Amino acid sequence: MSSQKILGRVLSAGKQRLGLISGVSGAGAVACFASAAALASDDAMHPGQYPWDFAGPLSAFDKASVRRGFQVYKEVCASCHSLDRIAFRNLVNVSHTELQAKAIAATYDVVDGPNDQGEMFERPGKLSDYIPSPYANEEAARAANNGAYPPDLSLITKARHDGANYVFSLLTGYKESPAGVTLREGMHWNPYFPGGAIGMPPPIQDECVEFEDGTPATASQCAKDVVTFLSWAAEPEQDDRKQMGFKFVGGMLAAVALTAYYKRFRWGPVKTRHISYKDNTHA
């Protein structure tokens, strides 16, 4: 075989390999682009970012807002959503006095027992009781809500990404469904909810409650206060934790300052001193 034919076959094989590599690279690029497009797409709007007064490292919950938020939860949300991790005693010295919390607890009927006859009975709530659920079990909750299960709100701002902003945007984000979208009976359109279709009707409207302190009960005010309350409910110890952290950091800084002082002015001269010995043998 001549050298020209050998050279031709080598060049042909090189072109085929180059074409194969180019095809694989192109397929990989298409796959990467499709994956990026899939990641970029989403079935819900991202919530707005709001300046919550409890979100800063040195900030605390507004107790008046927590109190108003509990009122919104009690009068609007509690008919469907439970708050299993909050007891009435948790409200004491946060949003209510002890007497007020006792009066609120007494308005609830709590199942207790068994009694001497082995039967369960209902009694007025006490400070040690947790806030009762509106439904006896999950099946009863689904039956009352067309198959949808209203989630417990104790940790809702922790369980959802960007929790406080998400809940606020969801409560105030109900819209008319866009053109071409047909909702099933009993569904509502909320672009902040995954998929858009949500079974919960708009719970917050203007003047949905009457605040005891005279604050205008606009829809945004009610949503802001109930989100503040739910954020507190998800982490009631937040203010104490921040205070303890501030004290710990302050103590550590003081310890560092004292250590630096001791090292520089007390231990430093000892380490850098020069000790010399005098030879007295020829004295």
Domain count for the chain: 2
Q: Is the residue at 55 inside a domain?
A: no
Q: Is the residue at 263 inside a domain?
A: yes
Q: Note down the domain range covering 69.
A: 63-86+131-235
Residues in the chain: 283
Task: Determine how many CB atoms are found less than 10 A away from the CB of residue 172.
Answer: 18
DSSP string, 46-59: PPPP---TT-STT-
| CATH classification at residue 213 | 1.10.760.10
- Asked if the model's pLDDT at residue 41 lies above 50, the reply is no
| pLDDT tens-place string over residues 47-71 | 999 999 999 888 999 999 999 999 9
> In this structure, what DSSP letter does residue 45 have?
P
| pLDDT tens-place string over residues 150-190 | 999 999 999 999 999 999 999 999 999 999 999 998 899 99
* 68 and 166 inside one domain: yes
DSSP string, 109-176: EEEE---TTS--EEEE--TTSBPPPSSSSHHHHHHHTTT--PPP-TTHHHHSTTHHHHHHHHHH--BP
* 202 and 249 inside one domain: no
Q: Is the residue at 12 inside a domain?
A: no
Query: 18 falls in which pLDDT band (50, 70, 90)?
Result: very low
* 184 and 218 inside one domain: yes
Q: Is this prediction's pTM over 0.85?
A: no
| pLDDT tens-place string over residues 230-261 | 999 999 999 999 999 999 999 999 999 999 99
* 205 and 80 inside one domain: yes
* 252 and 172 inside one domain: no
* 148 and 212 inside one domain: yes
* 145 and 241 inside one domain: no
- Asked if the model's pLDDT at residue 98 lies above 70, the reply is yes
pLDDT for the residue numbered 133: 95
